[in-house]
A and B are shown apart, each in its own frame.
Chain A
């Protein structure tokens, strides 16, 4: 093995993380290579320096300040997830808005579509765009137009459709 293949292994060799065979290969090379032996020695010293570097000390009031922060935070409840689930499942009276919205959706979904009235000439373009959009939407989404709520919405309110602007 040459030095370029041995050098990347020196770190793991120091860590005793090589396989027995790989370690033997490294040792055979080191026995004949002074530069790699020097590199290993310096790596070992470097690692020892880092391992023995002085450690920083916390200020004496660290624990007290941490405790103050934690005390000010919401306390995790033992049964918190149970309480949250109960909150979600609690029956609530429907708001007026919610009830109205539900009715609109039901009407749109289940009332048969009325036959299209011949639109005035200035609205024919919009109707054509709605039809094209509805067709494309059906192709991309539902196989049956009546199952595609987006199609129903477009047909119910063609005036809401507008040309995409560049």
Chain B
């Protein structure tokens, strides 16, 4: 964690010195995480890619004002969160559709499917129905709850980082996380009995 923070701080300093390669490195490191988060916040598709680009364009434009008081991760996710909130407002608070997964087959065609778990005995829970229900349950959460559960359980961020990202007190972060998890549990209850997903640590989740 400390090594990552030091590496990020070095990249930021290089960016502030007009090192284009440093910013490309930042994008390479974070584009996947930011895109995944944005997809879960606004739905997958061209909008999500555009908003992810907006995040990095805004970061590039304001890199000089970044003073490293917070981590680069926190800063980028805060920009992304605000962009997603603005997008939702512009969409007139339309109901967010459940995010759909799109996989490319070997011949380049796209197919709407959850990854096939038959060849992975550790991922037996990743069947089509459960995957769809998970996507729908996440998408049905109010945005304030969804952002916190995504940042904590999916991206592995800490309470204090999330508090800075969503701009609310620590107690509110904990409360929203609890409420989000309980809501997800209620929606996924029929699928939780007898299902034992692999125990993935938060560190694995953060680096994945």
Chain A positions near chain B (C-beta within 8 angstroms): 8, 10-12, 15, 17, 39, 42-43, 45-59, 62-63, 65-67, 69-70, 73, 75-78, 80
On whether the beta carbons of A50 and B61 are closer than 8 Å, the reply is no
Q: Tell me the minimal C-beta distance from A71 to chain B in angstroms.
A: 10
Q: Which 10 A-B pairs have the closest CB atoms?
A: A11-B178, A48-B197, A50-B153, A56-B39, A51-B205, A46-B185, A55-B36, A45-B192, A42-B192, A46-B184
Instruction: Scan residues 33-61 of chain B and give those whose CB is less than 8 A from a CB of chain A.
Output: 35-36, 39, 44, 48-49, 52-53, 56-57, 60-61
Given known pairs A51-B154, A62-B53, A78-B18, the reply for A46 and B188 (CB within 8 Å) is yes
Given known pairs A45-B195, A51-B153, A65-B53, the reply for A56 and B36 (CB within 8 Å) is yes
**How far, in whole Å, are A17 and B152 apart by their CA atoms in the complex?**
13
On whether the beta carbons of A59 and B49 are closer than 8 Å, the reply is yes
Which of A11, A17, A47 gathers most chain B CB within 10 Å? A47
User: Quick one: which of A11, A39, A46, A70 contacts B174, CB cutoff 8 A?
Assistant: A11
Q: Tell me the minimal C-beta distance from B83 to chain A in angstroms.
A: 14
Given known pairs A63-B27, A73-B61, A76-B64, the reply for A49 and B134 (CB within 8 Å) is yes
On whether the beta carbons of B198 and A50 are closer than 8 Å, the reply is no
Q: How large is the interface on B (under 10, 10 to 19, 20 to 34, 35 or more residues)?
A: 35 or more
Give 11 CB contacts A-B under 8 Å. A39-B185, A46-B192, A48-B197, A48-B198, A49-B130, A49-B197, A50-B134, A62-B52, A70-B56, A75-B18, A76-B64
Across-interface contacts of B154 in A (CB, < 8 A):
50-51, 53
On whether the beta carbons of B149 and A50 are closer than 8 Å, the reply is yes
**How far, in whole Å, are A39 and B178 apart by their CA atoms in the complex?**
12
**How far, in whole Å, are A46 and B53 apart by their CA atoms in the complex?**
31
Q: Tell me the minimal C-beta distance from B45 to chain A in angstroms.
A: 10
On whether the beta carbons of A54 and B153 are closer than 8 Å, the reply is no
Across-interface contacts of A52 in B (CB, < 8 A):
123, 126, 197-198, 200, 205
Q: Tell me the minimal C-beta distance from B44 to chain A in angstroms.
A: 5
On whether the beta carbons of A47 and B181 are closer than 8 Å, the reply is yes
B91 within 8 A of A: no
Q: Tell me the minimal C-beta distance from A55 to chain B in angstroms.
A: 5
Q: Tell me the minimal C-beta distance from B159 to chain A in angstroms.
A: 7
In chain B, what residue has the closest Cβ to A72?
A: B57
On whether the beta carbons of B188 and A49 are closer than 8 Å, the reply is yes
B115 within 8 A of A: yes
Across-interface contacts of A53 in B (CB, < 8 A):
131, 134-135, 138, 154
Given known pairs A50-B153, A63-B31, A70-B57, the reply for A56 and B181 (CB within 8 Å) is no
**How far, in whole Å, are A42 and B150 apart by their CA atoms in the complex?**
18
